[in-house]
Amino acid sequence: MTFLNRQIHFTAAPKRKVLVGFILFLFLSFVIIFVEPFDTDQYHSDHKILVLSGFGILIFFVFVIYSSFENLWYLKFRKVWLVSHEIASTILFFVVAGSVLYLYNGLMINQGSYSITSHLLYLKNIVLLMIPVFAPVMLYLRQQFGERIVPLPINSVLLTGENKNEVLSLEKGNLLFIKAFENYVEIHFLDEQDQVVSRTFRQTLSNVYQQIPFLEKCHRSYLVNMTTAKEIIGNSQSAKISFIHGEKTIPLSKTYYKQIKNRLVQK
């Protein structure tokens, strides 16, 4: 089980997906046209090379489209891709790709009719036998062109903006609050000297909340980290939140007053 839980690379960037797909297209086309497996040499057509290249072209498109949907799985696991994920995804890819190639071979080349029996036989007799040849190349390329993101420590958070180089990694206990204005957010946090500092990113408050869901909304323009909040100053009509560190306060709207007050009591 240790091997299955090992973190490996994942090809996430669209341009790299296209590059891997293109190499797979060249590889499969070469095998089918020149190695001529599965009695390919018996096939005769005025456009034989073009028709046989169709298998490689389909693999290119299937890989790019499939791996784009695969990104949803990658994000679900917080960009930590394991050997077990790669195995499961590879099996599913061959089922999908093999089914597309079956339709091309049966309906377009042989001009036959579809049947579930012939479909399953194609997967068993053709696709399954090609896996030892094709899979090592595909897996090697995915690792070569992939990324491996080291997960953040459990007590850390990562904030990103829309502009390049807008990335901030913080310990949860050092984040105070986030303020939104126009198309930007202002992130207030403690630096290494426990001084309250801020950084401005081009980002929306809703997107920040998706990145850091443990924050609480206390105002239409503010998100607050309740673990660093100290107390509520004033009544529900003009309340403010103060913090354990620093002298800054932020507004607390009447809409969120009761909710935030209860959270502070619980803390």
Chosen domain end from 144, 172, 192: 144
Tens-digit pLDDT profile for residues 203-222: 999 999 988 989 999 999 99
Tens-digit pLDDT profile for residues 126-156: 999 999 999 999 999 999 999 887 666 778 8
Residues 161, 203: contact at Cβ < 8 Å?
A: yes
Task: Indicate if 34 and 122 belong to the same structural domain.
Answer: yes
Task: Indicate if 124 and 60 belong to the same structural domain.
Answer: yes
Domain limits for position 160:
156-266
Task: Indicate if 37 and 87 belong to the same structural domain.
Answer: yes
Out of 18-27, 164-173, 222-231, least confident range? 164-173
Task: Indicate if 116 and 233 belong to the same structural domain.
Answer: no
The predicted pLDDT at position 214 comes to 92
- What is the pLDDT averaged over residues 71-87? 89
Task: Indicate if 106 and 167 belong to the same structural domain.
Answer: no
Task: Indicate if 118 and 232 belong to the same structural domain.
Answer: no
| Distance (Å, whole) CA 105 – CA 100 | 9
| Distance (Å, whole) CA 192 – CA 169 | 13
The predicted pLDDT at position 223 comes to 97
Q: Specify the pTM.
A: 0.61
Do the domain assignments include residue 177? yes
Q: For all residues of the chain together, what is the average pLDDT?
A: 92
Do the domain assignments include residue 150? no
Task: Indicate if 87 and 180 belong to the same structural domain.
Answer: no
Instruction: Give the DSSP letter of residue 192.
Output: T
The predicted pLDDT at position 3 comes to 86
Task: Indicate if 27 and 137 belong to the same structural domain.
Answer: yes
Tens-digit pLDDT profile for residues 81-121: 999 999 999 999 999 999 999 999 988 888 888 999 999 99
- What is the pLDDT averaged over residues 47-60? 94
Chosen domain end from 102, 119, 144: 144
Do the domain assignments include residue 3? no
The predicted pLDDT at position 1 comes to 52
| Distance (Å, whole) CA 180 – CA 257 | 19
Task: Indicate if 66 and 129 belong to the same structural domain.
Answer: yes
Q: What percent of the chain has pLDDT over 90?
A: 72
The predicted pLDDT at position 152 comes to 62
Number of domains in the chain: 2
Do the domain assignments include residue 6? no
Task: Indicate if 257 and 179 belong to the same structural domain.
Answer: yes
Task: Indicate if 137 and 167 belong to the same structural domain.
Answer: no
**Cα 58–Cα 61–Cα 62 angle in degrees, nearest 5:** 80
Task: Indicate if 197 and 119 belong to the same structural domain.
Answer: no
The predicted pLDDT at position 75 comes to 84
